[in-house]
Amino acid sequence: MGVEETKHDLRLKRVQVTVAILAGTVTLAVGLYNLKHTMFGKKGAGSVRVHVRTDKNQPASKATIEISMAQGGVVASAETGSDGTYAKNGLAPGNYTVKTGRSGFQPDMVVFAVEPGETAELNLTLKSASNPIQSAVEEVGASWIKNLGMPHTKSEEKRDSAP
């Protein structure tokens, strides 16, 4: 009986060693996974999905969308689809501004941040324009109106300053 107990003890020890090795392997894998995400973080580009609706809660199809970097460069310019949405992938992490507008509505704007590997979900609402002329002017470009009368080149400065 002493020999049989020894064989039984050996089998039990083998099972215990096998379980310990498997547990160690799982622990190592989980540790490496966590280390990768905490030490190196998420890498890569992010994206944005813009949902534009009217003040009557209807999708704003064919609304213009302009996405700009915080430093001022335009990244994308497009129109929303029939469901009032627009998506842009491949944005570098950072801060952006999205502007939207459509004929007969006041434009809307929001500042948002893009995180690596994440999608920013934005909801914008276009309010009916109380003054159709104001709406038309805003569509043409408020920046152009704002700079109207301001000289842009040296020759315009001389011309404007001449008596």
pLDDT at 19 over 90: no
pLDDT at 17: 84
Residue among 56, 102, 65 nearest 87 (CA)? 65
pLDDT at 31 over 80: no
Domain boundaries, the chain: 1-41, 46-147
Bridge partners, 74 (sequence order): 68
> Which regions of the chain does DSSP assign to beta strands (E)?
46-54, 64-69, 74-79, 85-91, 94-101, 105-106, 108-114, 119-128
When mean pLDDT is compared over 40-44, 54-58, 128-132, the highest value belongs to: 54-58
pLDDT at 5: 67
pLDDT at 98 over 60: yes
CA separation for the pair 34, 153 (Å, rounded):
57
Amino acid code (one letter) for 162: A
pLDDT in tens, 68-79: 988 878 989 999
Cα atoms in the Cβ-side hemisphere of radius 13 Å centred on 82: 0
* pTM of the shown model: 0.55
pLDDT at 8: 78
Determine the topology of domain 46-147 in CATH. Immunoglobulin-like (2.60.40)
Per-residue tokens: 30: 């989980």
CB atoms within 10 A of CB 62: 12
